Amino acid sequence: MLKKVNSILFYCCLCLIASCSDDYTPKPRIYPKINYPTNRDFVLSNPKDCPFTFYIPQYAHIEKEKYYFDEKPPHPCWFNIQYPIFQATLHCSYYTINGLHDFEKLHEDAFRMSNHHQIRADYIEPIPFHNPKNNTSGYIFSIEGAVASPFQFYLSDSTKHFLKGSLYFNAHINIDSLLPIQEFVKADVLKTLNSFSWQ
């Protein structure tokens, strides 16, 4: 019996000594699994007080923008498209154009807003957007890197209407985990922009 106890203690001590090591191998960081929507259907949307229509994914919804820095927005057609599954918001603001001067000022403002991200961005690509069928043109700004807004745009008919938007995620910016979600939402936002129609 004593031999048996001594044998067990010997093997336990041997295991403890063998398991003690200075070599530490860190485990890779894991991220929560994202369940992407299986239904990619789009529904027609016409936000209140807005002179346009467009399609948004069924998993998204529109909320009116009530305040802009504790004040009323400059135009009643300011709204957000919420993507709750991804904790993302597309902030959209509409402006009425009264002449070429207004258009040029808003155009320059859209470029200036995208350039605010130059400090943290790896790359900013302004991509011309043109949809002659719906008399819509503008620019899409694809912004790569650890930035707050990876996607911005403006759309206009260059005579009366101007809409700009910025996509934000309510999450810590970690490109490794956020990039697949950004690309998924960007693809749906592009479908929305292509469906845009002025009234």
Residue ranges and CATH numbers for the domains of the chain are 42-198 (3.40.1000)
- Give the distance, in angstroms, between the CA of residue 110 and the centroid of all CA atoms in the same chain: 17
Would you state the pLDDT for residue 34?
81
Would you state the pLDDT for residue 180?
87
Facing residues of 152 across strands?
Answer: 141, 166
pLDDT tens figures, 74-116:
788 999 999 999 999 999 999 999 989 999 999 999 999 988 8
| Residue 21, number of CB atoms within 10 A of its CB | 8
Burial tier of 123 (Cβ tally within 10 Å: 0-12, 13-18, 19+): exposed
This prediction has a pTM of 0.81
Would you state the pLDDT for residue 20?
61
pLDDT under 70 in the chain at which residues? 1-2, 5, 13-24, 30-32, 68-70, 173, 176
Sort residue 76 into left (φ over 0), alpha (ψ -120 to 50) or beta: alpha
Tell me the C-alpha distance between 92 and 77, whole Å: 8
Going 31 to 191 to 42 to 74, the CA torsion angle's sign is positive
Would you state the pLDDT for residue 156?
95
Tell me the C-alpha distance between 1 and 37, whole Å: 64
Would you state the pLDDT for residue 9?
75
Total residue count of the chain as it appears in this document: 199
Would you state the pLDDT for residue 167?
96
Facing residues of 91 across strands?
Answer: 80, 166
Would you state the pLDDT for residue 22?
63
Tell me the C-alpha distance between 199 and 132, whole Å: 15
